[in-house]
Chain A
């Protein structure tokens, strides 16, 4: 039978934990707001980029560009976006598990290559003794910058144009709403029809209606009246323009995925920490109840002792 002092100690310890989880929740809520803003403000660029690319592809002879070249998919490269830190519910586990399944399915005589972003993914695959083509960590410590996406994209483009890989896939958590992240498997290269194809990688985590934000649209091009198929005036050969635009497009895709993942991570952490705070609350209530029972039992016992002591006299 634990004594009163034991209960008090446990309650205090749970309260301290609760303080931490509550603080973490608040911090990630603030970070989430910023991350969310960045996701939204990056959308116009991605949308307009597509618009311009499509517009150009419609008008100009799209010559065979190395980034559009489709080869039989033998050597596959996977870009995995995980987080740097834990304590965010199933965020990392889910995405890593999906990546693992993906790699398993693609083992076809050629070992699939892997580039990890975030410490969690790297650590997991290192323990598995999986060779990593490259790793990027600490991207999410501060706000993701475009230059980081550029670096990753150029690495991937380089591997692709040197024909060391035949297809590049992205796996990441998409920020769907505060309570739901969606796992996305997306083909990055070869660029298909100037639109990445999307494969739904996992069911969305159902969230409470009340918290649900309006569904996020995949960077849709702004509705436009048909512009007429007149040719452009070019300041330089269209092929050269295409050469510049396509890598930029890949950068933007990577950048967008990074932002999505960053926002999804904060959302997952916020939800996880909210649940943890709730659990702590529940535990405190239960312990308090038991402590009161124990105290009453003790008082009763003392009373009986006094009464029976008096009766014996």
Chain B
């Protein structure tokens, strides 16, 4: 019989982020988002940065994860993220500032002082944070009118 729930553990080197029974989750795998349901075949993948969401009953929760690994077994999922945070914990103002900084840097293409790859990563991070914060709807989340555009996920 297939299991009906997944034991989800999300850990970063600094702390344990989530340890919960969940019914469904989506992770940013190396080659794109993956949806995982209980009873999934064993899978091991690298993660890229993105939004991780999981459903418990009817309630969805959102997190950011930045790089790491995910191991999926039929009854449990371990996410080893390099960094990550729960949507409610995101400092929206800081993410906004980071986004502006990165965008300004990206405008100065050709400037030898600008590390293009780094600025792009920074922008990506900020956008993911904002998006997750908005979805999590925690304190300080964006007003609906100011939703950031969908971030494009790095190839």
By beta carbon, the residue of chain B nearest A38 is B14
Question: In the complex, are the beta carbons of B78 and A56 less than 8 A apart?
Answer: no
Pair B46/A49 contact, Cβ less than 8 Å: no
Point out which of B16, B30, B41, B42 has the most chain A C-beta atoms below 10 A from its C-beta.
B42
User: Is A103 in contact with chain B by the CB < 8 A criterion?
Assistant: no
**Measured CA separation A59–B9 after assembly (Å):** 21
- The docked-state distance in angstroms from the alpha carbon of A57 to that of B73 is 15
Q: Which residues of B contact A248 (CB under 8 A)?
A: 69, 80
Report yes or no: A252 in contact with B13, Cβ–Cβ below 8 A.
yes
Which of A38, A48, A232, A255 interacts with B44 by CB under 8 Å? A232
| A236 in contact with B11 (CB, 8 Å) | no
Query: In the complex the two chains form, is A235's CB within 8 Å of B80's CB?
Result: no
Binding site for B on A (CB under 8 A): 38, 41-42, 44-45, 48-49, 51-52, 55-56, 59, 146, 149, 227, 230-236, 238, 241, 244-245, 248, 251-252, 255
Cα distance A244–B46 in the bound complex, in angstroms: 9
Q: Does B100 contact A (CB under 8 A)?
A: no
Q: How far is the CA of A27 from the CA of B147 in the complex (A)?
A: 44
Please name 20 pairs of A and B residues whose Cβ atoms are closer than 8 Å in the assembled complex, sorted by A: A41-B15, A44-B9, A48-B11, A51-B71, A52-B71, A52-B80, A55-B44, A230-B42, A233-B41, A234-B44, A234-B45, A235-B30, A235-B46, A236-B46, A238-B44, A241-B45, A244-B69, A245-B69, A248-B80, A255-B13
> How distant is the Cα of A59 from the Cα of B73 in the complex, in angstroms?
13
Task: Please give, as numbers and ranges, the residues of chain B lying within 8 Å of A55 by CB-CB distance.
Answer: 44, 71
Chain B residues whose CB sits within 8 angstroms of the CB of A41 once the complex forms: 14-16
CA distance A255 to B13 in the complex (A): 8
Contacts known (A48-B80, A244-B69); A235 close to B16, Cβ less than 8 A: no
**Using Cβ atoms and an 8 Å threshold, which residues of chain B touch A52?**
44, 69, 71, 78, 80
Beyond A44-B15, A48-B78, A235-B44, 16 extra complex contacts between A and B, CB < 8 Å: A44-B11, A45-B11, A48-B9, A48-B80, A149-B13, A232-B43, A232-B44, A233-B42, A233-B44, A235-B31, A235-B46, A238-B44, A241-B44, A241-B46, A248-B80, A251-B13
- The contact string, 1 if C-beta is below 8 Å from chain A, for chain B 33-48, is 0000000011111100
B80 to chain A, nearest CB (A): 6
Q: Does B50 make an interface contact (CB < 8 A)? A: no
What's the nearest-Cβ distance from chain B to residue A242, in Å? 10
Shortest distance from the beta carbon of B125 to any chain A beta carbon, whole Å? 15
- Indicate if the CB atoms of A45 and B80 lie closer than 8 Å: yes
**CB within 8 Å of A: which of B121-139?**
none
Q: Whose C-beta in chain B lies nearest to the C-beta of A60?
A: B44
Q: B71's closest neighbor in chain A, by CB?
A: A52
Closest residue of chain A to B42 (Cβ to Cβ) is A232
Known: A52-B69, A52-B78, A55-B71. A45 touches B13 (CB 8 A): yes
**Choice from A42, A227, A238, A251 contacting B73 with Cβ under 8 Å:** A227
B96 within 8 A of A: no
**A51-B78, A52-B71, A227-B73 are contacts. A235–B29 as well, Cβ < 8 Å?**
yes
**Which B residues are CB-close (under 8 A) to A255?**
13
What residues of A have a CB within 8 angstroms of the CB of B9 in the complex? 44, 48
> A42 contacts which of B13, B30, B71, B83 (Cβ < 8 Å)?
B13
Q: How far is the CA of A56 from the CA of B46 in the complex (A)?
A: 13
